[in-house]
Structure 1
Amino acid sequence: MKLNKLFLSLLFVGFCTAGFAQQTSRELKELKQKKEAIERQIELAQKNLNKTTNGKKLTLGQINTIKAQVRLMQDKISTINSEMRSLDNKITENTGKVHNLQTRLSDLKKEYAGMIRFAQRNRNSYDKMMFIFAANDFNQAYKRIKYLQQFGQYRKKQAAYIQGTEKDLNNQISVLDHDLKNKTNLLNQQLSEKNRLDKKKSEQAVVLNQLSKQEKQFAQDIKRNRDQRAALDRQIRAEINRIIAIEKKKAEDEAREAERIAAARAKAENRPVPVVASNKPKTNSEVLRATPESAKLSSAFESNKGSLPAPVATGYITSRFGVVKVDQATDNHEGIIYQTNEGAAVRAVFNGKVSTVFDKFGKFYVVIKHGEYFTIYENLKSVSVSKGDNVSTKQTIGSAANTDGSPEVGFQIRRGSTPLNPESWLAR
């Protein structure tokens, strides 16, 4: 019947849009969580900044914190814009649902009214008892009884459809009103964040103006930091190269031993000494992946690219990978720097084995090996692991130390001795 066709078509459309609705709701939830996480980072940055602005001397940490705040505020505004775009899609979708339900309700009511009019017009000629007794035989009479029962059930079902559709329509209108209120709230948030960003940019301009007055002292701080970082990176590379050299010697010794055993066996069996193809690793990558365990761990580390946890549970990046410009000076960072909470726990980002723990410039540094990959944790006040220890993902390995009054943790990822951008490996 026409009603059934209408119902089935609307049901099909409903199934098609349900998946999109779930995706939109999930996207909005994720954007809201991201926005809240960014706000927590902004608040932590302000907390750290308040602690370090009491002194008259401007520090590199203060400048990096303000720059990080500006970047985080821009990220939050971008997230709000994405949230509004998703909400607009949801509003459009819900508006369509309301229109479809209104059309559906109108069609159902027309169908029901037509059925009532038909029943009224034919009430006398289709008297139930007369209709049944007028049957030619018992079988026909039975079919007429079933017909009347089905007709009555159909009318009840149609009335239930109408009531259900009215309820769905009212619910959908309520959802649409809620979405429109949320959009208004997001617009207000966006305006508030833009005003806050303008104020922070003005604060940044004041700080940079203050920087020009302390240029000589600041240049010395930059040089000191650059020299310390260069010395630290040299020691890290030397440590990794030492590990590679040990692994390479071990692989070469094993290959020579295998050749010796093969030659001795051939001599004992009075046959020519076989020419054994060299199994010696040729590259650093082959050296570090030489054993099945190392190869498996390397592959596992690689497969988790983009989903590794951050080395601190709470924090924000103040210094990024690569060439970084500070005032008029440039610096090359082989890792990233987080600011975090006072004494925050520093954690391993993946399963591995501690290659070394050393102290330099009054701070501790931990290097963890993951097959051919290494992660380096810098600027620790204390450590809770030792060389040779096996560690698991998110295991605490130490606590964050302060630099110029701000709790900071440096983090590097290397493939062999080659530095990689950690941000492309960490989960967003």
Structure 2
Amino acid sequence: MKFFKVLFFLLCVTATLTVCAQSSEQLKRQRDKYNQELEALTREYNATLNNKKATIKQLNILKAQINLREKKITNINAEVRNLSSQIAENTNTVHSLQQQLDQLRKEYEAMVLFAYRNKSGYNKLMFIFAAKDFNQAYKRLKYLQEFASYRKRQAQYIEEKQKELHVYIVRLDRTKDEKNHLLLDQEKEKENLGKQRSDQQLVVKDLSKQEGQLKTAQKDIQRKIVATDRAIRAAISREIAEARRREEEAAKARAAAAAAAAKAANKEAPAPAAPVARKTTSEVLNSTPEAAALSSNFLGNRGRLPWPVTSGQIIQGFGTNTVEGIKVDNDGIDIRTSAGATVRAVFEGEVSSVSDILGSYLVIIRHGEYFTAYSNLKSTNVSKGQKVSTKQIIGSAATDAATGETLVSFKVYKGQTSVNPEIWLANR
């Protein structure tokens, strides 16, 4: 019974450590991703330092770096907690194995002492011949043989436990070292975070001297955002109206066909159908089997869609954001990417609209009852009505001449309702 308890304990510890190890690997990959993004931002920021005058691009890069460092510090905290848990588990395992080893040694010492006292062949023979009958003598002989075999197995078991204990001690020391390195990295990131916050204040102070120019640039950006949102909603409304018109025409055609068939058969024309309730937007957009299947496939890939650009960071998320103390509502996400980056469709569908919005392009793709919108494109290579496939290049990102930033705005709609694009995109 004791053996099974020990086995159950070791299985539980192994399972716990496996879960921790998986979690640790995920956290390490996330930390490596943050490091790569921080290195890219640092290179980009250093390139802007040649400009003696502070720019909006410098400020936005600093904000992105600060945001990433805060995320990395949070990630490190999670790693440290994970490692502390592993250290506690390994420490408990080491103590348990040490207690088991001590108990095994005591039992083995008792067996060795017993064997020493009965080491002579004469004593063994006397023990056998003192039996009452042959059956008892045979059992005593088997006992001596099994005792010798058991003692050998115990010696091997002690050796195995010693090796296992050594493995856990080494693992414990390695985990402690890893935790110490992480804590040093955390302190370094906090120091860098403080420095970049100071740099941010200096850039803001410098930019405040250009307040007039910045306000003008901000108005232009806001005007472009409003125009883009208006164009997206107008395009989706047209799609819904067109789908509703086709559905109504199809219903009239079916009624006319039924009346013609009745007349040909010399039967009374069927009575006019009772008015039916107006179909919902979802029903209209999914009125054909192809559209319904595309909607279902798009929904089934939520959380797994590729990003519209191969590399970049989200600098403004979905919903209400605060930009320089001003609240801004965003129906999508804004992704900073490299100059001239290609923009691609996140899922198969049909191009619903391509339009020029104040000097940059907007592409809208329909996926059944879902729509994806890609704005701030420098150029496009698709046209209205064209079928596109997943990851097909639809254009290239535009770089703002005033700020020097290359941004792509990405939005997802279910009908006319905007939804958070981040929950649809795959983790990177």
Scaled by the length of structure 2, the TM-score of the pair is: 0.89
2:196 to 200, 209, 219: 200
Structure 1 residues 357, 65: CA separation in 2 closer, same or farther (over 3 Å shift)?
same
Aligned to 1:292: 289
In structure 2, give the amino acid aligned to 1:365. L
**CA contact 1:255–1:280 (8 Å) conserved in 2:** no
The within-5 A match list for 1:243-262 is 243-262=239-258
**CA contact 1:336–1:411 (8 Å) conserved in 2:** yes
Aligned to 1:369: 366
Cα distance in 1 for partners of 2:49, 2:271 equals: 74
SS in 1 for 2:307: coil
Aligned to 1:220: 216
In structure 2, give the amino acid aligned to 1:257. A
Shift of 1:213: 1.0
- Number of residue equivalences: 424
**CA contact 2:13–2:93 (8 Å) conserved in 1:** no
Shift of 1:136: 7.1
The within-5 A match list for 1:28-427 is 28-55=24-51, 58-124=54-120, 127-128=123-124, 143-267=139-263, 268=265, 270-271=267-268, 273-274=270-271, 276=273, 282-327=279-324, 329-403=326-400, 404-427=403-426
SS in 1 for 2:397: strand
Structure with more relative contact order (C-alpha pairs < 8 Å, separation 6 or more):
1
1:105-139: per-residue Cα shift (whole Å, max 9, x none)? 11111111111222223445885556566667776
**CA contact 1:301–1:350 (8 Å) conserved in 2:** yes
Higher alpha-carbon deviation: 184-193 or 139-148: 139-148
Structure 1 residues 409, 107: CA separation in 2 closer, same or farther (over 3 Å shift)?
same
**CA contact 1:263–1:274 (8 Å) conserved in 2:** no
Structure 1 residues 143, 319: CA separation in 2 closer, same or farther (over 3 Å shift)?
same
- Percent sequence identity over matched residues? 46
CA root-mean-square deviation? 2.7
In structure 1, give the amino acid aligned to 2:180. T
Shift of 1:281: 5.5
Shift of 1:155: 1.6
Cα distance in 1 for partners of 2:4, 2:32 equals: 42
1:292-350: per-residue Cα shift (whole Å, max 9, x none)? 33223323333443443322232111223333333354433222211122333323223
**CA contact 2:398–2:406 (8 Å) conserved in 1:** yes
**CA contact 1:52–1:405 (8 Å) conserved in 2:** no
Cα distance in 1 for partners of 2:277, 2:318 equals: 35
Structure 2 residue runs of 5 or longer lacking an equivalent are none
Higher alpha-carbon deviation: 251-260 or 417-426: 417-426
In structure 1, give the amino acid aligned to 2:339. E
SS in 1 for 2:347: coil
Shift of 1:25: 0.8
**CA contact 1:255–1:279 (8 Å) conserved in 2:** no
**CA contact 2:224–2:357 (8 Å) conserved in 1:** no
Higher alpha-carbon deviation: 5-14 or 86-95: 5-14
In structure 1, give the amino acid aligned to 2:425. L
In structure 1, give the amino acid aligned to 2:94. V
Structure 1 residues 147, 386: CA separation in 2 closer, same or farther (over 3 Å shift)?
farther
Cα distance in 2 for partners of 1:44, 1:186 equals: 22
In structure 1, give the amino acid aligned to 2:282. S
In structure 1, give the amino acid aligned to 2:405. S
Structure 1 residues 204, 263: CA separation in 2 closer, same or farther (over 3 Å shift)?
same
Cα distance in 2 for partners of 1:409, 1:332 equals: 16
Aligned to 1:16: 12
**CA contact 1:336–1:412 (8 Å) conserved in 2:** yes
SS in 2 for 1:402: coil
Structure 1 residues 318, 106: CA separation in 2 closer, same or farther (over 3 Å shift)?
same
Cα distance in 2 for partners of 1:293, 1:180 equals: 57
Structure 1 residues 139, 401: CA separation in 2 closer, same or farther (over 3 Å shift)?
farther
Scaled by the length of structure 1, the TM-score of the pair is: 0.89
1:184-213: per-residue Cα shift (whole Å, max 9, x none)? 111101110000000110011111111221
**CA contact 2:228–2:375 (8 Å) conserved in 1:** no
In structure 2, give the amino acid aligned to 1:424. I
SS in 1 for 2:96: helix
Structure 1 residues 56, 236: CA separation in 2 closer, same or farther (over 3 Å shift)?
farther
**CA contact 1:351–1:391 (8 Å) conserved in 2:** yes
